[in-house]
Structure 1
Amino acid sequence: MSTRGGTFSRRGLLAAAAAVPILAGPPWVSAARSQDDPLPSWNDGAPKRAILDFVGRVSHGSGRDFVVPAERVAVFDNDGTLWAEQPIYFQIAFALDRVKALAPEHPEWKDTQPFKGIIEGDPKAVAASGERGLLQVMAATHAGMTTEAFNGIVADWLKTARHPRFGRPYDSLVYQPMLELLAYLRASGFKTFIVSGGGVEFMRVFAERTYGVPPEQVVGSSGATKFEMRPDGMPVLVKEPKVEFIDDGPGKPSGINRFIGRRPILAFGNSDGDHQMLQWTAAGAGPRFLGLVHHTDAEREFAYDRQSHVGRLDKALDEAERRGWTVVDMQRDWNAVFPPAPRSAR
C-alpha cells in the first residue's frame, strides 16, 4: 500500500479491510417521498431532471427506451456515494478502535508499530507502516473470531462510536437524497445493488436496515472464512486473515459479472475507484445512466476531489465531463445531505 504524503491509498486500505466483515444494525432511515416529488431533497436542476427523465423513459412500456423490469439493474458504490467517507473510511475507524480496546490485553503493542501509533494517536506512524502494518492490525484484532461473535462486537461499537466531526453515529451519516433515489428506483421496477470496495459482510447487515438493499444484492470485498465444527456440535464460520476478492477499481466490473450476472443500466459512484464500474455500465447497449457524487460542500459535509487521500475523484471526473455523465454537485444539487440527527446525537 502506498503511503506517500503520510496517507493510506484507497486500494491498500480496502485490501486490508477485505479481511474484516464489519456488521452494523442502524435503525431504518426512511426516504421521505411525496406523490408529486419522489426526490424532495434534490434541488430542481440538471441532475434531478436527468434522473426523472431516464427512469421515466426506461420504465414506461410505450417508449422505445423501455427496459423490461428484469434488466433494470442499478448499482451504487457505498463509501462517499451512499454515506460519508471522510476523514477515514468508517470500516477503518472500527478497526483502529478495536486496537485501542484490546490494548490492555496486549502490552507488547505499546512498543510495536503500527499498534503503538494507534494507541498514541499518531497517524503518521500508522501510515508509515503501510499495507503490511494495516493487515497486521486486521489479523491481530479480527482473525480467529466466528462471524457471529464479530457481528456482535461491531453492533456494540456502533451504539457508542461517534463521527469525530459530526458527533453522530456512523450509521446515521447516510445521504438523504440517495435514500430517496434508491426508493424511487425500486418503486419504478429497478433492482438496486451495492457494489463497493468495503467488506461485504459489513455491508450486508446494515444495507438492508439503512438502504433497503437485501444481503443478496450487496457485492463487496471479501476475506476468507473457514468452516469449523465445534466440540459442542455447533458449525461456525471463522474469519481468516486472508483477502479473497477486492471489489474496487477494475474489480468492480468483475464483481458485477460474478455476483450479479447482468450489466447495469444505471451506476452511481463518487471516486476513481468507481471509474471502471461506470465505464462498464456505459458500454452496454440501450439507455444508460452514469452518475457521480461530487463532494463540494465543506459546510454541510466535506469538499474534496482530485487531491484527496480518501475518495479521490480525478480521472472519473474528467471522463464524466467529456462524455456527459451526470455529476451531482452536493452543495448545489442537494437541499439536504443527512437525515435529521437521531435523538441520541442531538
Structure 2
Amino acid sequence: MKLKSLSLLLMLTLSSTSALAVTCPPNAGELPSWANSDRRSAITEFVTEITNPNSPNFVATKDRIAVFDNDGTLWSEQPMYYQLVFTLEQIKGLASKHPEWKTQTPFKWVLEDDVESLMKADHYALLELLQATHSGLTVEAFQQIVHSWVTKSKHQRFDRSYIDMTYQPMKEMLSYLKANGFTNYIVSGGGSDFMRAWTEQAYGIPAENVIGSSFGYDVVKVGADTVIVKNGELVSNNDKQEKVANIQRVIGKKPILAVGNSDGDHAMLQWSTSQNNPSMAMIVHHTDSDREWQYDRDSSIGRLDKALNESKQKDNWHLIDMKNDWCTVYGASSTSK
C-alpha cells in the first residue's frame, strides 16, 4: 500500500478528536486530567505512603526512582513509531544526494512509498535506513534536525506536531512525581539522541535521564575543536531484558515505579516490582479508538500480551484504561521554540 494511501485510509477510518469517552469532574490539585478512578487513586496513595516519614513504607528521596517507556507510554506510537516516520522523511530529503537509492532496497521502497514491502522486511533493512539518517553527523547537528522535525512536522491524523502527540495525563504524573521527590527517567527502545533533542521541553526530563537504543560515537578532532560524531555501529537495542541491564548500568538502582505499555516493557516492570521495598508497575492500555487508538495483543506495534496477563494477577500492577481513566489525551498545543 502506498504511504499516502495508507495515511488517507487511516484518516478516513479513524475519527480524530471526537467527543470525550469519559466525563470527568474537575479535579483540584494534582493529576487534573485523570478521572477519579482506581488508577488515579493508586498513584496518589502510593506516593503518599512512600513519602510519609512515619510510614513503614517510607522511601528516602534518593531511592525514589521512576522509569517510563516513551513510545505508547508518554506519547502515541501509531500507525508507526514516530522515529521511523522521521527516518522515512529524512531518506526522502536526502535522496537527491544518493541517486543510487532509486534502485537499492530498502531505500527504493521508501522512495516509492512501498510501505507493504518495508513492513515485511527484516530488522536489517530498518537498521540500514537508520544508519543512513542517524550517522555521520555530530550529536548537536543531529539533535537540531530532530528538534526541528518533532516541533514542526505534523501527524497526519491529528494535524498536531509530534511533540504535541504527548499524553497530558502522563505529563501531569511526571510533574506530580517530581514534586514529591522522585527522579524520573525515560527507558525506551527509541534512540537516545533522538529523544534527548526534545524530552526536556516535552516532559521536563533532562538528557542525562534518557536511556534508549544507541549507535556508537567517534571522537574527532576538527581544527582546534574536538567533536563527537555518530557512527553506524549499533551499541544497544534497548528493549525487553536490555532495558533492565541498561537501568542497572546507567542508574545503578532498582526503580520503585515502572510504567510501560507493551511486552517490550515486561522485563522492566517485573524487575522493578521484584523487591522488598514498596514498588508499583503501571501499564498504559490503549482502549480509546476515538481519541487515540485501540490495540493490545494483536498489534504489530506496541503489542501487549504477556504483560497484560500479569497485570491482572498482581495487586501492585495497575492497568491504565485510557478510555475511562483519562479526561483528555493530548494537552494544548505547545509553542515551538
Fold match by TM threshold 0.5: yes
Aligned-pair distance for 1:264? 0.7
Unaligned runs of 5+ in 1: 1-33
Check if 1:279 corresponds to 2:266. Answer: no
Does the 8 A contact of 2:27 with 2:33 survive in 1? Answer: no
Q: Give TM-score, length-normalised by structure 1.
A: 0.86
Of 295, 299, 303, 1:304 maps to 295
1:1-346 correspondence runs (5 A): 36-230=28-222, 232-324=223-315, 325-342=317-334
Deviation at 1:113, TM superposition (A): 1.4
User: Cα deviation per residue 1:262-317 (whole Å; 9 max; x = unaligned)?
Assistant: 11111110000000000001101121111000000000001010011110000000
- The one-letter code matched in structure 2 to 1:58 is I
Check whether the contact 2:147–2:198 (CA below 8 A) recurs between aligned residues.
no
Q: CA deviation at 1:148?
A: 2.0
One-letter code aligned to 1:283: S
Name the SS for the 2:287 alignment partner: coil
Counterpart of 2:289 in 1: which secondary structure? coil
Distance 1:158 1:276 in 2: 29
Q: List runs of 5+ in structure 2 lacking aligned partners.
A: 1-25
The aligned amino acid for 1:341 is S
- Contact kept, 8 Å, 2:261 with 2:302, in 1: the verdict is yes
**What letter corresponds to residue 262 of structure 2 in structure 1?**
S
Q: Identity percentage over the alignment?
A: 45
CA contact (8 A) 2:151 2:163 kept: no
Q: Give me the whole-angstrom Cα distance separating, in 2, the residues matched to 1:154 and 1:262.
A: 30
Decide whether the 8 Å contact of 1:99 with 1:141 is kept in 2. yes
Runs in 1 of length 4+ with deviation above 4 angstroms? none
AA in 2 matched with 1:52: T
CA contact (8 A) 1:113 1:125 kept: no
One-letter amino acid matched to 1:213: I
Q: CA deviation at 1:109?
A: 1.3
Out of 172-181 and 102-111, give the one that drifted further: 102-111
Q: Give the Cα separation in 1 of the matches to 2:149 and 2:282.
A: 33
User: How many residues are matched?
Assistant: 310
Give CA deviations for 1:31-52 in whole Å, capped at 9, x if unaligned.
xxx9943011110111011111
RMSD over aligned Cα atoms: 1.6
Label 1:75 to 1:330 Cα distance change in 2 as closer, same or farther (>3 A). same
Q: What is the CA–CA distance in structure 1 between the aligned matches of 2:253 and 2:280, rounded to whole Å?
A: 15
Shift of 1:143: 2.3
The 8 Å contact of residues 138 and 228 in structure 2, kept in 1 or not, is answered as yes
- Give 3-state SS (helix, strand or coil) of 1:141's partner: helix
Amino acid at match of 2:277: G
The CA deviation at 1:92 is 0.9
